[in-house]
Amino acid sequence: MTAVTLDDLARERKLLWLWCAGCGRERDVDPLSLGLAGDMPVPDVGKRISVRLVGGGRAVTSAPELHPGGVTQYRERIR
Ligand SMILES: [Zn+2]
């Protein structure tokens, strides 16, 4: 089984979830908004770049969205 890529997420209209182990910040972004190659495996994204969106830390985890619409929307729904 091959890893899910940024293009796969975009095709399925899913967001990319980013989480920083350093500061705990997280957010979901458009998978193609980071300017990375579309064929990049999703788990590699957090290893390749220091994501300013989650505080610029280097310990960033990247995965397909955990909830439809992203975790931020999910938290707001259950609040
Ligand atoms: Zn951070």
Please report the pLDDT score of residue 65 as a whole number: 87
Q: Please state the pTM of the whole predicted model.
A: 0.79
Q: What span, in angstroms and rounded, lies between the C-alpha atoms of 76 and 22?
A: 23
Label the pairing between strands 16-20 and 60-64: antiparallel
Q: What residue ranges do the domains of the chain occupy? A: 6-78
Which one, of 68, 57, 72, 73, lies nearest residue 26 by Cα? 72
What percent of the chain clears pLDDT 70, i.e. is strictly above it?
92
What percent of the chain clears pLDDT 90, i.e. is strictly above it?
39
Say how many Å lie between the CA of residue 76 and the centre of ligand 1.
21
Partners of 20 in the beta sheet? 60
What residues contact residue 75 under an 8 Å CB cut-off, 6+ apart? none
Partners of 62 in the beta sheet? 18
Q: What is the pLDDT of residues 29-55, one digit of tens each?
A: 999 998 999 999 999 998 887 667 777
Say how many Å lie between the CA of residue 31 and the centre of ligand 1.
19
